[in-house]
Amino acid sequence: MAWTEKDIPDLTGRTAVVTGANGGLGLQTALALAGAGAHVVLAARDPAKTTAAVARIAERYPAASMEVVPLDLGDLSVVRAAADTVLAGHDRVDLLVNNAGVMAMPQRTTVDGFEMQLGVDHLGHWAFTAHLMRALLTAPAARVVTVTSTARHRAFRALDAADPHMRKNYGAWTAYARAKMANYHFGLGLQQQFSRAGVAAQSLIAHPGLSNTDLQARSVREGGAGWAGAFFEALTARSGMTPFEGARPQLRAATDQRAKGGELYAPRFGSHGPAVRRPILRRFDLQKQIDVLWQVSERETDVPLPLESGPGTRTR
């Protein structure tokens, strides 16, 4: 039997934080977690979309427990403020789904001067995760799920530590591929950190396959995606999975009791199909790329990832 959201266990008493929870995959993730009894923190940027998302979840689940925390991943000061708001209201965070992202943008920068796609898709999530680490480690067995994409396979060149923001040779799709590869390496590297620290928290990765969300249409509206953006918009509209189906890999990674840290969940057939565990392709330079990502991320954000022991620490 294929795994579906009906297999999510009772999450009553758990706190789940979902970035980009006001639309697409994020909304479907928040909807499913709220339906399973979790208290869901919708961390999102657009107030009007977030209000509509809350109304939609409440209409489906009138007893849903929710709160909204404004989050702009393109501004590290807002990222810190959002994390502080979460920490002020919650001693522990059981689930963190790093879902939000942008795709194939024209060359532009975040408030902090980062290339927009690397800044929003990875560096903002890096800082948000780091700021929430105390609450994640307080939970008995927290999970962090970071959403990547098959587009990472188009990152033919590794992240350049000397020019991570591609100021010399920018390409919209190349930048997106590197950002999604950063998500992939972040998920694996974070699990390494958890394992070395001996904590019970786990880090997993998911990708949604070809899912028909607003991501494709937005990339076309932004004007940086070129003919490829128009092609993928038409393709996903014609044959993509629904956001409801596309969210299943990240939901399974977040809630399946058999899932383990360091695993990747994705559609069985790459772009389509039920959510299954997929193998981690270990390139010869995988560890080097993870190490470079850690170096670049800490340097650019000036935010380390502190791992402190707590109730979520394993005994050896």
Just list the catalytic residues.
Answer: 176
The DSSP annotation for 98-127 comes to: E-----SPPS-B-TTS-BHHIIIIIIHHHH
264-267 and 275-278 strand pairing: antiparallel
In this structure, the dihedral spanned by the alpha carbons of residues 283, 289, 305 and 24, taken in order and rounded to 10 degrees, is -70
Please name every residue paired with 95 in a beta bridge, in sequence order, or none if there are none: 16, 143
| Closest to 128 measured CA to CA, from 88, 65, 74, 179 | 74
At residue 246, φ and ψ (nearest 5 deg) are -65, -25
- Spatial distance between the Cα atoms of 121 and 267, rounded to a whole number of angstroms: 21
Contacts of 158 (CB under 8 A, 6+ apart): 285, 288, 289, 292
264-267 and 95-98 strand pairing: unpaired
The answer to whether residues 174 and 152 touch, using CB atoms and an 8 Å cutoff, is no
Please name every residue paired with 180 in a beta bridge, in sequence order, or none if there are none: none
Three-point CA angle 247, 252, 258, nearest 5°: 175
Three-point CA angle 120, 126, 130, nearest 5°: 140
- Spatial distance between the Cα atoms of 192 and 141, rounded to a whole number of angstroms: 16
